[in-house]
Amino acid sequence: MIFFFVALLISYGGGAVDLSEDAATVLSGPESNGLNRAQFPMGFVFGTATSAYQVEGMALKDGRGPSIWDVFINNTPGLIANNGTADVAVDQYHRYREDINIMKKLNFDAYRFSISWSRIFPDGTGKVNWKGVAYYNRLIDYLLKSGITPYANLYHYDLPETLEEKYLGWLNKQVIEDFADYAEFCFKTFGDRVKNWMTFNEPRVVAALGYDNGLHAPGRCSKPFGNCTAGNSATEPYIAAHNLILSHAAAVQRYRQKFQAEQKGRIGILLDFSWYEPLTRSKADNYAAQRARDFHVGWFIHPIVYGEYPRTMEEIVGKRLPKFTEEEIKMVKGSMDFVGINQYTAYYIYDPHQPKSKDLGYQQDWNVGYAFEKNGVPIGPRANSYWLYQVPWGLYKCLTYIKHHYGNPTVILSENEGLHDSTRINYYKSYIAELKKAVDEGVNVVGYFAWSLLDNFEWRLGYTSRFGIVYVDFHNLKSYGAGAVELSEEASTFSGPENGGLSRAQFPMGFVFGTATSAYQVEGMAHKDGRGPSIWDVFIKNPGIVANNGTGEVSVDQYHRYKEDIDIMKKLNFDAYRFSISWSRIFPEGTGKVNWKGVAYYNRLINYLLKQGITPYANLYHYDLPEALEKKYMGLLNDQVVKDFADYADFCFKTFGDRVKNWMTFNEPRVVAALGYDTGFFAPGRCSKAYGNCTAGNSATEPYIAAHHLILSHAAAVQRYRQKYQQKQKGKIGILLDFVWYEPLTRSKADNYAAQRARDFHVGWFIHPIVYGEYPKTMQEIVGKRLPKFTKDEIKMVKGSMDFVGINQYTAYYIYDPHQPKPKVLGYQQDWNAGFAYKKNRVPIGPRAYSSWLYQVPWGLYKCLTYIKEHYGNPTVILSENGMDDPGNVTMAQGLHDTTRIKFYKNYLTQLKKAVDEGANVVGYFAWSLLDNFEWRLGYTSRFGIVYVDFHTLKRSPKMSAYWFQKLLQRNKH
């Protein structure tokens, strides 16, 4: 959303910031009513706004006295959502430079802030707090230094508590002189630099919510209208409003008499204005809507323009409505150089045809009913705040109304906004389009201020509502530009020669950069559209198996959101997407009847990838055997699976191979065999009792049987492809193997042998047969008769059965010889006879990511690639997975700001490039993963994605690492 303003406000003829394609799309083109700065009058001001109490913090420090809001909050537990306070807020008191720098980057012209009366005069009058003065001097000076024009508001709801205690604040006329004195001090102190002054923000809200229903400080009202201990809703709102108007006029009078001629500034007031539209065309409803407008905006603007309250109010309120003296009329009438309009929403209004209320009050005096829909159609979508409906035409009507009823005064649209970021751009676009329409029709609007710059303390809602165009993490107060300028620009600091900068051009011609996911982790629709269950669907039904009992039922719903995800890949400049096909989505029973809805899904996915210029890399199996085959013949433990997998693969080649030219048979078959059959940690959860919490299995034999059938299934599928499809389709086929680098802990022979055993039992278990037609000698010697043997025909089929090998590489460990006797209970991991270490001489092998197994060891990647080159004939290699995870419970802001992940990728890619430069035949790199997703046993408590996914709404937000890839992968344009 931030990019919307970057794009809107950029000065043509040069701009340092690359525009987001998202915002540019929303912003431009006839289909979206394209907007830009040039379409507004010369000198039109675009700004953003906050208020002191909502952003400053330091509420009771550096000499600031308490305001009525400090007391209102602290005296009433539960008054604010989650008992939030503004004691710290978002700490603009210390972070003002950072915030102003953001404004500058976003091309804003101006900043509307408020001055805290009790920070200048802790007691409302008398002694000055010079520390407070110094703060506002720093703020104003840095704004000007940064080319941002200051717009200073003197009052935003925060009366000094001392004046409330001394004489009941706005209910006493003494406040008029005290406010004027405070205003005069500000004019004298800051007016040499501040040329745009506002006396009050939303005085109607101050009077109505403070004195009619008690929802705001000081919390006064009649008992029928709120939970108040004192007050009179029939009279006090009008008294407070009267004194607010006179305070405004007195301050304007001081400014005009003493400062304006010399300082050459201007002064106005900020009024809230909701548009009230008659529900029907009846006279009664039209009169009701006009009453609402008079009691709302007319209550303040009418006296300032005409010197008296609206006739409607005079007639209804009668003697309860204070009167202006002749001297006061002279002072009030014309007391503004401009009016600020805070406009957010609109409502339908109707006449309720009800008798006059026995209990009098300001809101009761309106005698109107509210409606939020008409003929069953809502007036507009609702935002997070219950009162805020998105009604852009309401803004146009408000501005036109001010023009026609109040002599077309100079107007600043001083607040507008209030949504979550997913709809915020459309909100701004549609409201600004209506603003432009009003300007084009002669309304004298000279500026627009977006509320708010920052997420902040939102009064009674505390920190449960976010109005900011800049996201603030309320725990560490770091601010992020909603995944846009801030993330993109900060990501760029990780490139360049001073950081060992990388670029696409440094890799061989044709080198492929992609990103990856797997079906079960991202698709969702686990039991819908004809998909049959996989072994994982059954496995995770055991309570406690997956963290927080997470499931893949919905996951991140790529089944429906694939276009959005592919569009993200395209914007990030990726060349390819490695996805997996769910066997049980194609064949619900594993064999036999085809589920054509599943076929249609993968056709849509593949076609849209190609349409967007993304090359599909299709993996046939990612841990998810059809449960039907597990029940029928124990799945991978039966050699029937070899034929059934080959038949499934054959169908995929035939159905999708006209478009898919890059095939992978299995992802990490070692993980399938070891975690599925040795420890039972993964589906189908089989093991010897000594090695896991399993009800069946044999860790001594089953891992080797399963692996043998995986290798034969791979080879049979490759054979089908080569015999029936490869020549015509001109594709290639391989397998994806995980490879952890095992480094000897010491230089001893024993530790070197142990490390080699680990490599043989890990990656050698699969690549050795595929390259040489037999298992590694180490395995043959140690496992003996428990290790299945290939027949001569199988050797012919297996040997050479890959056009490339995919290597999934994440981490490295130190390995040592434990010098221990052979265990009584045999198992695959026990056969290694190796010990693991994560430190050497007390120095960790590398920083740990969130997952317990994942240490960041970039040189391990280099050693893996060099090992494959030297031991297996330098085959064609794709680095098919590489990445790191964060905890699942990170806040969105923390998740987006993934600088550790950028360093991870930069360091690993540097090692990859080193291996390539030394002759390793690596032709591609796939980052794991595109999206945060379902992370197997960790469920949703681990995030590997370069795109943050909100697991509640499934909204996607690219992280800083995504923008880092975008810059890395951009192509030079000649």
CA-CA distance, 353 to 574, in Å (whole number)? 64
Q: Considering 236, 277, 328, 881, which one is annotated as catalytic? A: 881
Backbone angles phi, psi at 11, to 5 degrees: -85, 125
Sign (positive/negative) of CA torsion 953, 955, 960, 961?
positive
Question: Using an 8 Å Cβ cutoff, are 565 and 572 in contact?
Answer: no
Burial group, residue 458, by CB count within 10 angstroms (0-12, 13-18, 19+): buried
* Catalytic residue list contains 881: yes
Q: Are 292 and 272 a contacting pair, CB within 8 Å?
A: no
CA-closest candidate to residue 79, choices 207, 218, 212, 233: 218
Direct distance between the N- and C-terminal alpha carbons of the chain, in angstroms, rounded to an integer: 31
Run of H or E residues at 815: strand 812-816
- The residues that bridge with 201 in the sheet, in sequence order, are 270
Q: Give bridge partners of residue 514 from the DSSP assignment.
A: 576, 926
In the 3-class helix/strand/coil scheme, how is 559-622 assigned residue by residue?
HHHHHHHHHHHHHCCCCEEEEECCHHHHCCCCCCCCCHHHHHHHHHHHHHHHHCCCEEEEECCC
DSSP, residue by residue, 725-741: THHHH--EEEEEEE--E
CB atoms closer than 10 angstroms to residue 7 = 25
| Phi-psi domain of 879 (left: phi exceeds 0; alpha: psi -120 through 50; beta: other) | beta
Q: Residue 929, preceding bond cis, omega within 30 degrees?
A: yes
- What whole-number distance in Å separates Cα of residue 936 and Cα of residue 192? 63
CA 940 to chain CA mean position, Å: 16
The position carrying tokens 């957010």 is 344
- Name residue 271's beta-bridge partners: 341
SS3 111: strand
Q: Is the peptide bond before 452 cis (omega within 30 degrees of 0)?
A: yes
The active-site residue, picked from 668, 702, 743, 794, is 668
Handedness of CA 400, 402, 407, 410 (dihedral sign): negative
Determine contact, residues 6/409, Cβ cutoff 8 Å.
no
Distance CA 57, CA 90 (A): 6
Token pair in block for residue 595: 């589920």
> What are the two backbone dihedrals, phi and then psi, of residue 316, each rounded to the nearest 5 degrees?
-80, -45
Give the other-Cβ count within 10 Å of 774's Cβ: 15
CB 916 within 8 A of CB 909: no
**Residue whose structure tokens are 């995980």:** 738
359, containing H or E segment: none
668 flagged as catalytic: yes
d(CA 414, CA 155): 14
363 Cβ contact list (under 8 Å, min separation 6): 208, 212, 213, 225, 233
DSSP tag of 558: H
φ/ψ of 874, rounded to 5, equals 50, 60
Tokens for 495?
A: 């490139």
What's the rounded Cα separation, in Å, for the pair 914 and 917? 5
The DSSP code sequence of 438-464 is HHHTT--EEEEEEE-SB----GGGTTS
Helix 669-677 with 765-772: angle, nearest 10 deg:
130
Catalytic residues: 668, 881
